[in-house]
Chain A
């Protein structure tokens, strides 16, 4: 079946460096993507979303890039801080809304001081 996956299960960076978390999706009909952050013991937190008619979207210290040609999504975090340490999930939706999302298993980001 269709699924959202991640290239790396863990990522370790130094404080102040930029982080890049990757996600591959297999459903070419997916038209809406979301990145979530989940800290230990908490619920997933919405970070940023992007629709398939865009290839880049920026938020506060975060940028999401979408490459539909190779079905690849990435989350870039600028000047990574210890508070960014968490598991990051990508999710995709193929219905133009969010009635059902398919989630990746997540990448654990560790920021070293």
Chain B
């Protein structure tokens, strides 16, 4: 049981490039989330998916898109990366009514 996995672990992009961050969970959880974590800002919700086939915006959705591919996988896409998107990105999942479990994170630098 791997829990929540994320790929890649590290990524460097140039301004304007695009990329997709992958997330998968093997706990059969209904809900999945994408957060970014910046120094002094704490965890901020980008998008979440309460169930397969649904997605909703969080606190900071601008510049991102998501896809809930199936119950296991939830991807985050940056269409045109900007330096302001330099951050650590965490994916999480939760069962209905339970706590969220996080992946190890992706450290993204946009130059």
Contacts and interface: CB of A to CB of B under 8 A. Distances in A.
Interface of A: 34, 36, 42-46, 49, 89, 91, 96-101, 103-106
Contacts, number: 51
Given A49-B99, A98-B98, A100-B48, A44 B104 contact: no
B103 interface: yes
B104 A101 contact: no
Given A89-B42, A98-B97, A43 B103 contact: yes
A46 B45 contact: no
Nearest to A3: B42
Interface in B52-111: 58, 90, 94, 96-105
A101 B42 contact: no
Contacts of A91: 100
A104 B37 CA distance: 12
B48 A42 contact: no
A25 to B, nearest CB: 14
| 4 pairs of A and B residues whose beta carbons are closest in the complex | A43-B102, A105-B42, A98-B94, A103-B43
**Interface core residue of A99, A104, A106 (most chain B CB under 10 Å):** A99
Given A99-B31, A99-B48, A46 B42 contact: no
Contacts of B98: 49, 97-98
Given A49-B98, A97-B31, A97-B98, 19 more contacts: A36-B102, A43-B102, A43-B104, A43-B105, A44-B43, A44-B102, A45-B102, A46-B100, A89-B43, A91-B100, A97-B94, A97-B97, A98-B31, A100-B48, A100-B58, A101-B45, A103-B42, A105-B40, A106-B42
